[in-house]
A and B are shown apart, each in its own frame.
Chain A
Amino acid sequence: MRHFVSTRIWHWINLIAIVVLFMSGLNISNAHPYLYWGDWGFSPTQAWLAVPRFPGWMTIPDYYSLAKARDWHLLMAFPFAFGLLGMWIAMLWNGHFRRDIKTARREWRWSAIRADIAKHLRFDFTHGEGKYNFLQKIAYGAVFGVLLPGMVLTGLAISPGMEPSLWWLVDIFGGRQSARSLHFLCAWGLFGFFVVHVLLVLLSGPVGQLRAMILGGDHQPTNPPFARPAKPEGESA
């Protein structure tokens, strides 16, 4: 039940990379806050979304500078992308993916999913066998399988210097401006995950959770005081 050392190292490197990427990305968004579908798009009338302007406290650097934001963004893209690659290799190698994240067919039964949702709604985070419950597996699966690689691939696709080699990738995304839109959407998808992730850590014994992710100790999630775990089977309700 302990976190692998590869998981722990990647988690913190990735946290730094992703925070810098997200905040510098918001600064870059301010340079042209309109999103388009297809290959091209350059004026608000063609946009499917006019993005709000992000204030300085949300951006890196903390004032508008496309040049400096790009410096940070393109720097952190490397630990982010290669870190993800390394994490995937480690996950497949050490069995973390197969054992903890891959779902079994029986977990996809509606009754099982409903029970898991109900358990979450009661703030009951204790679990029996297995490291992660179904909702966790789905969340981590979506993050590792879709959102994180999605950031890397859409990022590569909007880079004009990569396009002579990766034109097919741009085509898969439906054109450069589509790739740019998806880059933005994946980023906010990750932000959504980040908020829920931090919230759940705070609710399930943050000190133990942090210790487990830093030092690798064995931590069982605990319930917050207001949790209402279901009575064990056999007891009458």
Chain B
Amino acid sequence: MSFTMKRRSVLLGSGALMLGACTKISDSEAGTRFFETVDDWQMGLQRALRARNALAPEYAPEDISPTFRGNGSTDPQNDGYPEHVTNGFADWRFTVTGLVERPLSFTLDQIMTLPQRTQITRHDCVEGWSAIGQWTGPQLSTFLELARVREGANYVVFRCADDYTRGRYYESIDMDDAYHPQTIIAHRLNGEPLPVKNGAPLRARVERQLGYKHAKYLTGIELVASLDAIGLGKGGYWEDYGGYQWYAGM
């Protein structure tokens, strides 16, 4: 009996140790690096299983959710953003900088004159919820072609106007998603100018990834060769401060 008891406690004990080890591994430097590698494999696998420009599903107008939830920053108060809201973003600029032959700066009016794409897509937050909305704006590829991307550019960094709890928001995607037809710089939601809670006046739509990649309050994009020198080097606000995966396709 005591032998069985001992064996049982060994079993239970090793189970508890294993679970405790999960937390320890997560909290360690090596564990963090390991999971970054796993994130890379997962991106490779998902991309191997679909065509490069495979589209996310688009919905019919009757599928649009009655409201579109705002999350993260929903009413930035820093660096003159409230003043931009007051004057209707008349002085807002969207710049294209970094590894381009022709750095550019656009007013909102100029952005409206570019070819537009409208898409009704589903937004999936990393937390688990979803909302459906209709987005309108130029494709990111339009800006990249106008600015002429230089050789060696591997990432598009989204520059944002909002400070979240730990600092300025930013995000990044690679050229695969940057040139994707559904990756747009949206200025309208459901036919109306983008509301403040959803990122007015401009937000990114990266339809094959989770919500935190869809940076809001965009002031520009920057083409870079590496993400090492941006923020804390992990490619985004949540990646730097929250430990989220850079590739957010799962």
Contact = CB atoms under 8 A, between A and B. Distances in A.
Contact of B65 (A23, A40, A176, A207): A40
A60 B22 contact: yes
A61 interface: yes
Interface in B209-225: 209-210
A61 B27 contact: yes
A26 interface: no
Given A41-B130, A72-B26, A75-B38, 4 more contacts: A34-B129, A40-B132, A65-B26, A162-B249
Interface stretch (A1-9, A91-99, A144-152, A163-171): A163-171
27 contacts: A16-B18, A23-B19, A29-B128, A32-B127, A39-B63, A39-B122, A40-B131, A42-B129, A43-B69, A60-B19, A62-B20, A65-B243, A66-B126, A67-B242, A67-B243, A71-B243, A159-B249, A160-B207, A160-B209, A161-B43, A162-B250, A164-B50, A167-B57, A177-B130, A206-B4, A207-B4, A207-B7
A78 B64 CA distance: 34
Interface residues of B, number: 49
B130 A31 contact: no
Nearest to B133: A40
A207 B1 CA distance: 11
Contact of A161 (B20, B46, B59, B130): B46
B129 A160 contact: no
A70 B46 contact: no
Interface in A59-107: 60-63, 65-68, 70-72, 74-75
B249 A160 contact: yes
Q: Main secondary structure on chain B at its contact with chain A?
A: loop
Interface residues of A, number: 44
A54 B65 CA distance: 29
B22 A61 contact: yes
A71 B32 CA distance: 9
B23 A61 contact: yes
A207 B75 CA distance: 61
A61 B127 CA distance: 16
